[in-house]
Amino acid sequence: MSEIKKQKSRFVCQSCGYVSPKWLGRCTECGAWNSFVEERVVPQPARAQRAPATPVSKPLRLSEVEVTEEIRLCTPFTEFNRVLGGGIVPGSVILVGGDPGIGKSTLMLQQAMALAGPDRPVLYVSGEESARQTKMRADRLGPSTEHVYVLAETNLDAVLEAGEEVQPGLVVIDSIQTMYKPLFESAPGSISQVRECALELITLAKRSAIPIFLIGHVTKEGYIAGPKTLEHMVDTLLLFEGDRDHMYRVLRAVKNRFGSTREIGVFEMTEKGLVEVTNPSAFFLSERRGDASGSAVGCILEGTRPILVEIQALVAPSSFGVPQRTSSGVDPRRVALLLAVLEKRVGLRLGTFDVFVNVAGGVRLDEPAADLGIAVAIASSMQNKVVDPKAIVVGEVGLGGEVRAVAHLDKRLAEAQRMGFQRAVVPHSSMRATRRVAGVTVKGVERIEQALKELLT
């Protein structure tokens, strides 16, 4: 009886993670209804005797704070370093999020193997796979290394103990959702377990200057375990994205206390793990044939990086009453809009035709600057005319058929030049702010019809 009395209860909002000593019908933090779940805290006498997590600190004058050039840990993967802002900052906690199966474990095991050395052992904690599975994966990825320690464990206390033993220079937790602290009764993966475990690992990282990578799955709603909670706590959030049917992956910094969030890294998933793609434009254009109708080359910006992509369209007479419109890599609503513009402003009778739009390599075009390329590819297939294979095309298309300005035209033209393109059809209104690029003839257009006239032969 007295045992039960001693156990303390607390209530945790499952929506935002707010902790309250009593049950609330509505969360005072996030406003969610009925979101509180009771959680019992098992008292631990040892807890009170533990040393303070961080050394006691006192306020310093700003001018007294010593700034030393931090030495970042660099992996042999230049794409990875760049996304982090030039390497791994000691003591930083980096959350790597992404859909299940996208390659997070592969990426981090590769980094672990590349970074491990005699004076820098790496502790790879796998809560999802056995040590044997991790070993089998490692064997595919490269020569085995003595300095990576694998621990198949989900109890965070055991992980910390192993950390004491190994004294690692880098820790990978795969994944944070599988970790739990026995002190709390809620299940692993619940918001409070995830938060408590992350908090403890963050404290460890800051105190010991060991960088820690946390792998996190993105849930259906697009959150990494518990809305935003983790995101606020970590120094850096990287998202690993891509299409599972295609082999290319993009690593993107969404939050970074130590660098820009505009950088991306491109990788390709191969049989031997992830390989860096240092020239994405060449990669995405590699299968292009310049002599077929329905293909146009556009230029998108991924972060600050221009990437040339091939946009393909196929327009064929419809054999059913309702014509099909299928697109991959482009929002179908955007395609519908462009079809309407082509019909109304250019006079293409697309109403009885099936239209398929595809972006080669599984790239997603989220930028309006890709509009004109999509429209040109569709018109090219419809009229069975080939688009000039030496031209790139960029521009946003408005409802009136006008071609609107795009940002960073300079960068896009420079990329076109680098990849050997000789012509560029661009929004007329973007021309003024753009410098000339040697070897590339730039044509500014105001309307979609002009672009078609320029490009279709």
- Footprint on this chain of ligand TYD (rule: CB under 6 A): 98, 100-106, 137, 140, 269, 271-273
Look at residue 140 and give the partner it binds from ligand TYD, Mg ion, none, a contact being a CB closer than 5 to 8 Å depending on partner kind. Answer: ligand TYD
User: Residue 247: CB partners within 8 Å, gap ≥ 6?
Assistant: 268, 269, 270
* Residue 126 sits in the site that holds Mg ion (CB under 5 A): no
The rounded distance, in Å, linking the Cα atoms of 301 and 318 is 35
In sequence order, the β-bridge partners of residue 164 are none
Q: Which two tokens stand for residue 79?
A: 């794409």
- Residue (of 158, 162, 101, 148) closest to 128 by Cα position: 101
- Residue (of 300, 298, 219, 304) closest to 259 by Cα position: 304
CB of 173 to ligand TYD, least distance (A): 12
Q: Is the CB of 97 or the CB of 444 nearer to ligand TYD?
A: 97
CB of 423 to Mg ion, least distance (A): 45
CB of 129 to ligand TYD, least distance (A): 8
Q: Is the CB of 217 or the CB of 412 nearer to Mg ion?
A: 217
* Contact predicate 73/111, CB 8 Å: no
Look at residue 256 and give the partner it binds from Mg ion, ligand TYD, none, a contact being a CB closer than 5 to 8 Å depending on partner kind. Answer: none
CB of 275 to ligand TYD, least distance (A): 10
CB of 101 to ligand TYD, least distance (A): 5
The rounded distance, in Å, linking the Cα atoms of 17 and 13 is 5
Burial bucket for residue 354 (CB in 10 Å: 0-12, 13-18, 19+)? middle
Look at residue 272 and give the partner it binds from ligand TYD, Mg ion, none, a contact being a CB closer than 5 to 8 Å depending on partner kind. Answer: ligand TYD
Q: Which two tokens stand for residue 271?
A: 């049989």
Look at residue 271 and give the partner it binds from Mg ion, ligand TYD, none, a contact being a CB closer than 5 to 8 Å depending on partner kind. Answer: ligand TYD
Look at residue 100 and give the partner it binds from Mg ion, ligand TYD, none, a contact being a CB closer than 5 to 8 Å depending on partner kind. Answer: ligand TYD
Q: Is the CB of 35 or the CB of 105 nearer to Mg ion?
A: 105
- Residue (of 294, 350, 357) closest to 327 by Cα position: 357
CB of 106 to ligand TYD, least distance (A): 3
The rounded distance, in Å, linking the Cα atoms of 382 and 428 is 25
Q: Is the CB of 269 or the CB of 424 nearer to Mg ion?
A: 269
Report the chain's C-alpha Rg in angstroms. 27
The rounded distance, in Å, linking the Cα atoms of 227 and 239 is 15
* Contact predicate 154/176, CB 8 Å: no
In this structure, the number of other CB atoms found within 10 A of the CB of residue 299 comes to 29
Assign residue 243 a region: left if phi > 0, alpha if psi is -120 to 50, beta otherwise? beta
Q: Is the CB of 100 or the CB of 290 nearer to ligand TYD?
A: 100
Q: Is the CB of 124 or the CB of 184 nearer to ligand TYD?
A: 124
* Residue 190 sits in the site that holds Mg ion (CB under 5 A): no
CB of 133 to Mg ion, least distance (A): 10
Q: Is the CB of 39 or the CB of 79 nearer to ligand TYD?
A: 79
Look at residue 106 and give the partner it binds from ligand TYD, Mg ion, none, a contact being a CB closer than 5 to 8 Å depending on partner kind. Answer: ligand TYD
Q: Which of 81, 105, 134, 177 binds Mg ion (CB under 5 A)?
A: 105
Q: Is the CB of 223 or the CB of 258 nearer to Mg ion?
A: 223
CB of 274 to ligand TYD, least distance (A): 8
Residues near Mg ion (CB under 5 A): 105
